[in-house]
Structure 1
């Protein structure tokens, strides 16, 4: 089989005529010109890396329809924005590229933001400017390197009322209405679950009562939730707020009926934008009850095991901001793209592991195994693993550059790159000031 595959690959290679796609029909001239210059610069600065040279070869550059002269036109926009820890908590004006004297809402004079907060606020203000310029939310994409960064931006923008489409925004486990239902179910199943009591009351305030947290309310919730004797104070608290769960009767309902009862008790349907999550959760309770029965404890265990893979379908044609990883954006295009946290490392992280392979004549001791796991560090340069270490570093560099390329080539009209202000280069011994 292996030989047959090799022969077929050889046949394909002999008849393959590679052609570069010289014309970019997606992006405006300014974006094409920026990418041509940026990746040409990368190639020039990476002469020692054969893989980089092979990917970003001279024919790599692209033209705008109409010829290279069109690259001199004003179509499109590319902007690099740098921020840092201790950035001023002031409004940024995208039209002028300057910070204003006006403080961000809720921040006192002289307040500062860390790098992540500052990046989130810059993204927010770029989106607000795009809407003012006539873009729709569905035209905007925020492309992140990691899911953790995507979650951070999605949470930040969602808390400020922006509709979001992302892998996490579609997941049931991140829907607050679902988490409220699950928390109350946990208390019904095990009344001594103080963590579930606290979560239910906090989510009730946020999702249903639309109240901002206060120290006094937090102390009261803690007092109710931490009652060691009974769960009665918890359900009495719900009743005092106008939500009678009727725990004695409700706890004996089947899973689907219980879920319907709780949704009705808290008036969740129609009161927020998360109805799709409720219907999917109802489907889940029905599917489980038909297949495994109505045991609430078993269902909660099933939820804990499966919640990471449960989601709703993305609403078709929704006017919402797309937030996703760069990897998942391959092949897609958006009117306006924001690339936050564009400061990822192009070298392996300290402590990453390498599967080192040694030939028999390279082993310092004959009894050593043929393969061993070693940590990547500079000392490998002086060992028989130097070539493998170099290959691993080159692969990491290429992966980082490819991620940049995918992100930078997704926009049609505008590209905003948000990164960390570069640190001053360290002077080496003997270097002139």
Structure 2
């Protein structure tokens, strides 16, 4: 029997290090070099998978060279028990085997593994042959939304449902943009819970939802009418018979207020158990200020009023549950219908286009696993994995783990093994389907395995943060967990929050509390505090801007922080600065593409004209007038201006005839957008265009529409973008570390604004025919579904504490927290207030209402270790492939003789010279020729010398400089219509000189050819002063006049 090893980790404890170490121990313990074929290692992002591969291969490479003194190498030596020489030899053999069989090296994402499973089962699942995979579901969802909107005008039922959907969202303060609302509803339909629920609603048509809506409205109106009629009777007694509510106990807010709400039909606001009602029914019916006569009058009406109150209470009791369910379901009913309709459109698009969504693969595999035995899965895969390694397990969805568990547990029964690594405290992706309860169950109870088949190891050493920071997080979360979490999640922090640091005594923590009960009250002081802290750690502690990260909860906070810091001269790298659309080069490229699709688009023309102005394309006398003229000129004149600027690298007719991706690449190159420090953004846009072309039958118009929908979110990967402060959300910061982190606005609200799917009891007649419903969590609480509410509320509280845990564990040397402890409602700020009230730490009051609590001593910066890129890319080569790839059709070169090689070299020099305008342009011409593959690198210097020799030759140099203007290979036409193309014609006013380059021995026809050129030029009115033949042979230059 095999064993499942569970690593219960914490922040900075080396989760990936431990997984890679165990992977290599298993691999190197086998005498077989191809043992990696039996191991599957999976994680959840491409970046994490790349890091895992990199660590495995780099460690193998180091070991193969006998370098086992590192921490990883020493631990592998100890765990394998192998002699060093044997370990080194095996590492080399394994590395060579992997490189020769890389496709069998199974380290990747869980999505890539699931994709392989689905492709293996494509026949059994009746999927399209050779189906394409769409990674970005929004591409298909947007098409589905567009198709739904096209039907709206002609389909009355659909129009009614969409109108109700939009009005419901507007009433709740959401956007009125119907496309974005529908897209949000469509995304909801892609979630696991929604997928299962919508499957139960698959037979529902639009008419069914509208019929149910009308039934619910009638039912609610009927209940409200019954209650209202009784309430009105009571109000007539109070205000007509008694004359006023002031003589009743409690006055307007007592029993009279209860009856007024009933009369208005406000059923939701009625509470028959309210103290005012109970007191009235108990006999306390008259006001203490009422006269004796008034008390007698009230007493006379007491029994009728009691009867009416009891009648209302009886109605409420009878309809309480059904009324609550009906109210709860009515509001989101149209959203359910929309999601169902969009789902149908998505299915139609997939079937028509032969595509599958990556996001649906887990459901497909799950359904199939219920029908097929596990060994059959291995057979279809063509491989039999014996060992499974799973990283970041806390983010695994229920479906993902169900699919993999069948394979893992099958191998555990056959002497295989499994290893999972996770940290339930860093589970922050529940909104994406992650279910951390699976990991909790695994390390606390073995996930259903017998005790001898699983082993748990807690990783308790923090290798990231200084000891002061580690001690703070230990104490903070141990203190907060019991008051913030339910039993299940509380144990996570109680059992897994006792770390020790590899740097005891180091580090610094500050907590600054800022006064202000509203977000706006706190915003300016918080921004100022961020600025002050950045100034302090850079000026006094010696840190660079790149050492600092500001980590926040919401994108809105990030935008304001970025704007504030930039206004104060602090360089920042944020999600906004990483947006592809933030690049000027990309905006120019998109404008050029738009002018090709829509030549009269003045806004796109203006963007291009501004770019041309920046590049000095307009005359210095009046650039504004010239720019305005070009923007408003006919399309032909506009494109002519672009072509003139590009110096022959861009022709709009040629661009229009190219395939879409090549067209985009051609535009970037022709407009000289590369090499302006924005190559990463251009490359990302090209990647986006390439992905779009692969997934969708694309045109420029379609690509522009796609860009308009994605420009607000499409971004380049974050990395070190110079010396700048990093700004990022908590989700983006997960897995990263920084010497200094600042966590502002650490007082966000803990809200239960969430929608959940519930089963509808069959006895609920108003909801008959509706098996499940999407309802607001707040409605669940109001309608007595306490167990469901408690379950979700527990997850919400855990989500927020986990977010805080991730934010507070990114720092290596300094952690600065900016919070507010007096914010109304339930907030994260409460946690800091509770902590500060229960611990003894240094307190410094600020006269501006800022209170700073600090732990430890401010830690200065270490000397920064400089890293060197082994393969630096000085400039991206963005030229189209037609310029980079050349097919050599000269068969003679295969059997080239020295003489033939000399001739060929002369031809190459000839080609370079045809691109030279003056002596200063030689190097650029050689570079362009080299880039297009005209000659190999090793010949570049030799050819460059030869070309320089030609333009510097005593008989020729004057013709490569002013006042002569050279025209290379310009076509001439004889009177008979024959087309001639001299190599170079030099013009100065009405004077002309002809230069023609040749290889080989001089021949009479060479002189005759040049004489023909001269004759045509004379007929054109030029005085031909000289005709020169230039022979280029084996680095020798011979000039002959003719």
Q: Normalised by the shorter chain, which TM-score bucket?
A: 0.5 to 0.7
For 2:180, the equivalent position in structure 1 comes to none
Aligned pairs for 1:8-407 (under 5 A) are 8=409, 9-11=447-449, 15-46=453-484, 49-57=486-494, 60-65=497-502, 73=505, 75-82=507-514, 115-116=522-523, 118-132=525-539, 133-154=541-562, 157=565, 164-166=572-574, 168-187=576-595, 189-196=597-604, 231-232=632-633, 251-254=652-655, 255=663, 256-263=665-672, 269-270=675-676, 273-278=677-682, 281=685, 296-297=700-701, 299-301=703-705, 303-304=707-708, 311-312=715-716, 314=718, 318-349=722-753, 352-358=754-760, 360=762, 363=764, 367=768, 369-377=770-778, 380-381=780-781, 383-407=783-807
Q: Is the 8 A contact 2:515 2:822 kept in 1?
A: no
Instruction: State the shift of 1:336 in Å.
Output: 0.8
Please list the CA deviations of residues 346-401 of structure 1 after superposition, one character each: whole Å capped at 9, or x if unmatched: 2312xx3221224557x576836342222222x64353422111211111111010
1:23/1:119 CA distance change after superposition, 3 Å: same
**TM-score (norm: length of structure 2):** 0.30
3-state DSSP of counterpart to 2:672: helix
Instruction: State the shift of 1:83 in Å.
Output: 6.2
Alignment partners' CA distance in 1, 2:607 and 2:466: 48
Instruction: State the shift of 1:27 in Å.
Output: 1.7
3-state DSSP of counterpart to 1:417: strand
Alignment partners' CA distance in 2, 1:125 and 1:302: 42
Alignment partners' CA distance in 2, 1:235 and 1:30: 69
3-state DSSP of counterpart to 1:143: strand
Please list the CA deviations of residues 40-74 of structure 1 after superposition, one character each: whole Å capped at 9, or x if unmatched: 23123237x223322222562333458xxx5xx57
Q: Is the 8 A contact 1:180 1:204 kept in 2?
A: no
Please list the CA deviations of residues 213-244 of structure 1 after superposition, one character each: whole Å capped at 9, or x if unmatched: xxxxxxx99xx99x9xx83399999x9xxx96
Residues 155-164 or 400-409, more deviating? 155-164
For 2:810, the equivalent position in structure 1 comes to 410
Alignment partners' CA distance in 2, 1:127 and 1:236: 52
Q: Is the 8 A contact 2:465 2:507 kept in 1?
A: no
Instruction: State the shift of 1:140 in Å.
Output: 1.7
Alignment partners' CA distance in 2, 1:397 and 1:287: 39
Instruction: State the shift of 1:403 in Å.
Output: 0.5
Instruction: State the shift of 1:127 in Å.
Output: 2.4
3-state DSSP of counterpart to 1:393: helix
Q: Which runs of 5+ in 1 are unaligned?
A: 88-112, 210-219, 427-433
3-state DSSP of counterpart to 1:414: strand
Alignment partners' CA distance in 2, 1:320 and 1:282: 26
**Number of paired residues?**
368
For 1:95, the equivalent position in structure 2 comes to none
Q: Is the 8 A contact 2:470 2:499 kept in 1?
A: yes
Alignment partners' CA distance in 1, 2:707 and 2:575: 18
1:382/1:293 CA distance change after superposition, 3 Å: closer
Alignment partners' CA distance in 2, 1:84 and 1:236: 60
1:423/1:309 CA distance change after superposition, 3 Å: closer
3-state DSSP of counterpart to 1:60: coil
3-state DSSP of counterpart to 1:354: strand
- Structure showing greater radius of gyration is 2
1:163/1:396 CA distance change after superposition, 3 Å: same
3-state DSSP of counterpart to 2:461: coil
**TM-score (norm: length of structure 1):** 0.65
1:319/1:178 CA distance change after superposition, 3 Å: same
Choose between structure 1 and 2 for higher RCO, CA contacts under 8 A separated by at least 6 residues.
1
1:317/1:161 CA distance change after superposition, 3 Å: same
1:401/1:12 CA distance change after superposition, 3 Å: farther
1:129/1:236 CA distance change after superposition, 3 Å: farther
Q: Is the 8 A contact 2:512 2:818 kept in 1?
A: yes
1:46/1:164 CA distance change after superposition, 3 Å: closer
Instruction: State the shift of 1:337 in Å.
Output: 0.9
Alignment partners' CA distance in 2, 1:159 and 1:235: 42
Q: Which runs of 5+ in 2 are unaligned?
A: 1-368, 375-404, 410-446, 617-623, 656-662, 827-1042
CA RMSD of aligned residues (A): 5.0
Alignment partners' CA distance in 2, 1:403 and 1:177: 36
Q: Is the 8 A contact 1:355 1:372 kept in 2?
A: yes
Q: Is the 8 A contact 2:484 2:797 kept in 1?
A: no
1:203/1:151 CA distance change after superposition, 3 Å: farther
3-state DSSP of counterpart to 2:671: helix
3-state DSSP of counterpart to 2:464: coil
Alignment partners' CA distance in 1, 2:816 and 2:549: 10
Alignment partners' CA distance in 1, 2:808 and 2:521: 25
Alignment partners' CA distance in 2, 1:424 and 1:310: 36
1:333/1:287 CA distance change after superposition, 3 Å: closer
